[in-house]
Amino acid sequence: MLKSGVHFGHKVSKRHPKMEPYIFGAKNGFHIIDIEKTQIKLQEALEFVKKVVSNGGTILFLGTKKQAQSIIAKSAGDCGVPYIIERWLGGTFTNFSAISKVIAKYNSLKEKRSKGELNKYTKKERLEFDREIEKLEKTVGGIAALNRVPDAVFVCDVKKEKTAVREAIKKNIPVVAITDTNTNPENVNYPIPANDDAVKSIELIVGLVAEAVKEGQKEKDSKKDTASAAKPKEINKK
């Protein structure tokens, strides 16, 4: 699953003491993450993700740091899960009813535009609608299909997404996250010890989580097919 090699964390001076069990050593002032322990924790995380999805649950992908944005958007889109790559909206978990209104507004405006219902307005007004849709696209475009809080959240950077992690903990939403050497893994249900800055590291782990989602979706579909086949057919009565 993971290729052998040196996986660097943050500088020695920025090490979080709770990450000590996952650190192999140090080189040139940087910590080296123990890849064998990464492998174990990654497998646990992937099994959890697969289970959540196979049981019909939803997992939200979150990564607003620059090097993670395009990776998160592509992988989440590929496996059909909601995602956030721009600014985290406070209350997304703890006050979802308010966020759902923003989502509804975004979906409504997009639908009206696609149906030509905004053509009755002036050119200036239509331009304002376009700008509003574009603004909403950045904030809730990735969660436009979300109609309830997710069953789990996958986070690329625990420190950067600390508000989201706090909200998840408050709402008892399990957190799966890449945990670099400067983070506290105890705030995460399924920590994945790895470099959360390197693009290759992010690509690898996000890709594997996306594959776990797909496997879970296949299992869910298989359960539906089995249940459908086992259901007795109704006999038409004359």
Q: How far apart are CA 238 and CA 233, in angstroms?
A: 16
Q: How many whole angstroms from its chain centre is CA 82?
A: 7
Pairing of strands 83-84, 30-33: unpaired
pLDDT of residue 23: 83
Residues of the chain with CATH 3.40.50.10490: 8-93+149-224
Q: Which pair of structure tokens corresponds to residue 102?
A: 């923003």
Q: How far apart are CA 154 and CA 165, in angstroms?
A: 10
Which residues of the chain register pLDDT less than 70?
A: 1-15, 17, 27-29, 227-228, 230, 232-238
The class that CATH gives domain 8-93+149-224 is alpha beta
pLDDT of residue 150: 98
User: What strands, in cross-sheet order, belong to the sheet with 152-155?
Assistant: 83-84, 59-62, 152-155, 175-179, 190-193
What residues form DSSP beta bridges with 26? Answer: 31
pLDDT of residue 153: 98
pTM for the whole structure: 0.88
Range 96-144: architecture per CATH: Orthogonal Bundle (1.10)
Residues of the chain with CATH 1.10.287: 96-144
